[in-house]
A and B are shown apart, each in its own frame.
Chain A
Amino acid sequence: MKFKLIKSLDVAGLSVFEPVVRLLWGEEPKVQIKKIGLYIVIPLLVFISFLLVWDFMGPRHKTKSGEVPTPKVVLDAYKKIVLFHDQEYAKLDDYNREGEDRVAHLTEVESRLRIVRDVLGQIRIALEDAENQFQEKLAKYLKPYQQVVAEKQKDYQARKAEVEGKLITWGKQLDVNDKEGKKDYIKAVALAKREFEKNEKHLKVLRTELADKKINESPELVTLRLQQTKLEQEEQFLVKRISYLSRANRSLKIEAAETILGDQLANLSNAYGDEGVYGLTLNILNSQERIEKIKKSSYAKPPTFFDQIWTSIKCVFTGFLIATFIAIPLGILCGLSSVFMASMMPLISLFKPVSPIVWLPIVFIIVGGFITNPEEAFISPAFLSTAITVALCSLWPTLVNTALGVASVENDHLNVARMLRLNLWDRLTKIIIPSSLPLIFAGLRISLGVGWMVLIAGELLSSSPGLGKFVWDMFNNGSSETFAQMFVVVFFVGIIGFLLDRLMVIMQKLVSFDEAVSTL
């Protein structure tokens, strides 16, 4: 049991937890505790201190797009993302509810809406009071500053008028030949000009300061605002739910359409000798068609963060599979034949360094040419283009590693094959491929990592649904939460990338034969 656990940990690349398992079985507690300290506690402490440093530094680094979010803000943003997800799925469920279930939910939501509206009413009143108080306070606070600015402006204007007046008079009195006087005059006007400019600049500074002057809103006001926002959003959500539980509900729509159909059928069975029979019959057929369509309809749910993650994962694996199917056979051929390798080399060297940003538009155009009717295509062209781009960028490590693996099969193993007179196919499947599997999987692992990175960029460009699009949408939102939402994405992209990597490590370990773990 213990060894199985340790082995599984090792295979999963989580051997850092090995001491924990050993400790649980009471094996050399001192050594294990020391190991836990070294490999678990210290990294954990580093991570925590990273969070602390971030928490401390974040608010101190102000950008024009707002503060760098603290971990708490990021967590809040994440919670909002989850809330959005839950709400959309609630709407989806509501749309599909029927019968008793629907009525029960409707009553529940309606009663909740009443409560929300009550509270919201109270909050609005309280908020208005608080707002007025704050405005008064603000006016009072700003008054002295405004006065200062006003006075300064008045002073400067008076000074300017006075100086200008004097200068004008002086200028008028200047004698034609009074060279000295003119010199002085020029000096005086220059000084005056400089003074005016200085004053004006000062005024501007004062005005900017005034515009920036503010007092912190009372915590009460802030909470009230937050509550209002939250409740208004909930109100909106509930109203929408009610509509999906009542008039926009699928089962009710079907019912209504069926009632109409029933009437129409009744009409038809009574009708005779009328040229309207034809139209009536057509209407009946239309009603039936409509019912069928409603039955098949579903709530048009916007993709939530978690939907996007799922799409991204599907996309990266699609691309990864395409890459694998291209890279492994090519790699094997390259490894087997040096002529083939040499002839492929220029192509590989040419395409390998091309960035996904270049591939994407090209792939887009090509794929678009093949899929003329996306409505009926079983796969969305944007999705496919992104997947192919991922494939194009990620197939190289696998290709190179496969070629290397195949080319470097041990001579002894090949000799065995020769001695046994294995045919080409057997030699490939029984000797060459098994022997190069560890290298191939090492390549696949790198490929998947590259693919995941390319994917996000690809989605961002192609507007194919997924995490990349989510990032771009959030960026386009330009809201105060944008920054925090991006951080959420950073964590998710990182964690998923890590998990994908672990997955490949496990597979790599399972196919590797040099270590004892392979028996697992």
Chain B
Amino acid sequence: MIHHFLLPTRYPRALYWMLLFTLMASLSSCGGEGTGSDDSLDSLLEKAEKTAPISKEEKSGDRQSVSPEKVVQKISSTVLERNELKFGFIKLTDCAPIVIAKEKGFFDEVGLQVDVEAQPNWKTLLDRVISGELDGAHMLSGQPIAATIGFGTKAHIITAYTMDQNGNGITVSNAIWEQMQENDSSLKLPQPKHPISANTLRPIVEERKASGQLLKMGMVFPVSTHNYELRYWLAASGIHPGFYTNTDKVGETDAEVLLSVTPPPMMPTVLEAGNIQGYCVGEPWNQQAVAKGIGVPVTTNYDVWKNNPEKVFGVTKKWADENPITHIAVIKALIKAGKWLDSTNSEGDLVNREEACRILAQPNYVGADYDVIKNSMTGFFYFQKSDKRKMPEFNIFFKDHATYPWYSDGIWFLTQMRRWGQITESKPDAWYHETIKKVYRPDIYRLAAAELIQEGELEESEIPPVTTDGYKPATNEFIDGMTYDGRYPVKYLNSMKIGNKDLEASS
């Protein structure tokens, strides 16, 4: 597995020739005796055999045992296939690891010059990664999976790094919030008790349904975390968010609430204009609704599913195969950036977040006001002007093995795609496991982490133990308290009240 990346057999034939030419040159320059005008490999080998025949064993080359140290040494002494890269990102605070790796020089340290470029929307971002205009990008967790299984644009995308956890919120308009308060007067308190479920939204949905004017809500992309979270939140209270089917690619079949795609920066504007009555989006767009006084964030995805994976760093399989060493170098820099973002002092305070906010506030990165970015990044969240709460774990970038590409995280997205019909046919458990192993690549993550440990940049304890099977333990930290175990996706799917169900394997 490992030497797969390291052996020069991966070089194309042309590179062999180049190597040989330069070999001749360097040997002569250091006083070696190997010279000669004959430049064909075979004739050179023949000549060498004549002067000093070498044994078959030696000729076959690399017989060294592949001990970890040696591997690491070899990696650092190999050459990056590429050292000028271009990554894409969307202007959201969770692009921080890429930006920090660039600005704090982590990319420099691994020998990379990285250009990061803001993209207008998730679709363009994905298309440009696929077309090769971008080497890699900040992606929605669902994007590599959906692309690989062919929902939307089909392309084999892999990820070896999860960029962050949490970070989204669900906001409703003032009018809806008032009606929700009518339905449950405890919400009228200046600081209502959290988590707020969609139960109080239910009567409003029914009323709207009766009047023939369905409630409309916005999310950012069909395979975005936001879509699944919003659906989860609604469905947890028995509100049907609609199915995707073979003929309905918008996902409004049977819907009691119509969900539509709206780019994040447009959300507050569209909400204000009354085209939608609520939305699910990342920061700073929930805080904007509060600042502008047009809406109220009712819940965050921390409450919908505690510590859910939010964004990943995605590259195409093709790119990863062509640039294995560069890929590892990139992951190394990103891990360091994540660690930097989450580093704390002895009292447990995040020490680097303010600096990170300053960097993110630059116009070529997130570009929002420092104060706005600071709110969520440093652990505060305004639910209303009068309701500011501490949310230290609103954005997690590193701690608790957050950056490790857990299979179970990916499988959750697969289950949601099946649940809402984006995957149209029934699949067995084995399919989920196979599929996710094509997309999530902890092996690459481990190679990068091993180098960092070797270099003393990372503690063994900061990455999951080698014994892990890549699945997180079962958890019930969802808003509806359902238990999720990534090892049994079909069982999980069938435990849901609303949504597609599959046949469980009878073994």
Give yes or no for direct A-B contact (beta carbon below 8 Å): yes
Question: Could you tell me which A residues sit within 8 Å of B by CB distance?
Answer: 64-65, 80-81, 84, 207, 210-212, 229, 232-233, 236, 240, 243, 247-248, 253, 265-266, 268-269, 275, 278-279, 281-290, 293-294, 297-302, 368, 371-375, 380-382, 460-461, 463, 465, 469, 472-481, 485
Given contacts A289-B22, A302-B117, 12 further A-B contacts (CB under 8 A): A282-B19, A285-B19, A285-B22, A286-B77, A294-B111, A297-B84, A371-B131, A461-B120, A478-B265, A478-B288, A479-B361, A479-B369
Decide: A286 near B79, CB < 8 A? Known: A298-B113, A475-B265. yes
Interface string of B381-421 (1 = CB under 8 A from A): 00011100000000000000000000000000000000000
Query: Once bound together, how far apart are the Cα atoms of A240 and B104, in whole Å?
Result: 8
Interface string of B30-66 (1 = CB under 8 A from A): 1110000000000000000000000000100111100
A-B contact pairs, 22 of them (CB 8 A): A80-B363, A84-B364, A247-B105, A281-B26, A284-B23, A284-B26, A286-B79, A297-B84, A297-B113, A299-B113, A300-B84, A300-B102, A372-B132, A382-B128, A469-B120, A476-B118, A476-B367, A477-B366, A477-B368, A478-B367, A479-B368, A485-B363
B113–A84 touching, CB < 8 Å? no
Residues of A within 8 A of B364 (CB): 84, 302, 473
CB distance from A394 to the nearest CB of B (A): 23
Other-chain contact of B124, A65, A253, A463 (Cβ < 8 Å): A463
Residues of B within 8 A of A373 (CB): 132
A474–B30 touching, CB < 8 Å? no
CB distance from B106 to the nearest CB of A (A): 11
Residues of B within 8 A of A368 (CB): 127, 131
Decide: A64 near B292, CB < 8 A? Known: A473-B363, A476-B265. yes
Residues of A within 8 A of B183 (CB): none
CB distance from A476 to the nearest CB of B (A): 4
Determine whether B8 belongs to the interface, using a CB cutoff of 8 Å to chain A: yes
Query: Once bound together, how far apart are the Cα atoms of A284 and B29, in whole Å?
Result: 12
Determine whether B293 belongs to the interface, using a CB cutoff of 8 Å to chain A: yes
A64–B272 touching, CB < 8 Å? yes
Closest to B59 in A: A278
Query: Once bound together, how far apart are the Cα atoms of A248 and B333, in whole Å?
Result: 14
A282–B8 touching, CB < 8 Å? yes
Decide: A283 near B77, CB < 8 A? Known: A269-B32, A297-B113. yes
A265–B30 touching, CB < 8 Å? yes
A302–B115 touching, CB < 8 Å? yes
Residues of A within 8 A of B385 (CB): 211-212
Residues of A within 8 A of B358 (CB): 232-233, 236
Residues B101-119 near A (CB distance < 8 A): 102-103, 105, 108-109, 111, 113-119
A300–B115 touching, CB < 8 Å? yes
B363–A477 touching, CB < 8 Å? yes
Residues of A within 8 A of B294 (CB): 64
Other-chain contact of A474, B268, B363, B384 (Cβ < 8 Å): B363
CB distance from A502 to the nearest CB of B (A): 31
B105–A302 touching, CB < 8 Å? no
A211–B367 touching, CB < 8 Å? no
Other-chain contact of A281, B23, B31, B268, B361 (Cβ < 8 Å): B23
Decide: A268 near B80, CB < 8 A? Known: A243-B105, A298-B113, A380-B133. no
Closest to B81 in A: A293
Determine whether B83 belongs to the interface, using a CB cutoff of 8 Å to chain A: yes
Question: Could you tell me which B residues sit within 8 Å of A by CB distance?
Answer: 8, 19, 22-23, 26-27, 29-32, 58, 61-64, 77-80, 83-84, 86, 91, 102-103, 105, 108-109, 111, 113-120, 124, 127-128, 131-133, 190, 264-265, 268, 272, 284-285, 288, 292-294, 355, 358-359, 361-364, 366-370, 372, 384-386
Closest to A64 in B: B292
CB distance from A188 to the nearest CB of B (A): 22
Closest to B113 in A: A300
Closest to A207 in B: B386
Decide: A289 near B79, CB < 8 A? Known: A299-B113, A477-B363. yes
CB distance from B417 to the nearest CB of A (A): 25
Query: Once bound together, how far apart are the Cα atoms of A349 and B136, in whole Å?
Result: 43
B8–A473 touching, CB < 8 Å? no
Residues of B within 8 A of A472 (CB): 120
A463–B119 touching, CB < 8 Å? yes
CB distance from A271 to the nearest CB of B (A): 10
A477–B22 touching, CB < 8 Å? no
Other-chain contact of A65, B19, B23, B292 (Cβ < 8 Å): B292
Residues of B within 8 A of A302 (CB): 115-117, 364
Residues of B within 8 A of A382 (CB): 128, 133
Query: Once bound together, how far apart are the Cα atoms of A283 and B120, in whole Å?
Result: 42
Query: Once bound together, how far apart are the Cα atoms of A461 and B127, in whole Å?
Result: 13
Decide: A478 near B84, CB < 8 A? Known: A269-B31, A286-B77, A375-B132. no
B23–A476 touching, CB < 8 Å? no
A478–B78 touching, CB < 8 Å? no
Query: Once bound together, how far apart are the Cα atoms of A269 and B34, in whole Å?
Result: 12
CB distance from B138 to the nearest CB of A (A): 14
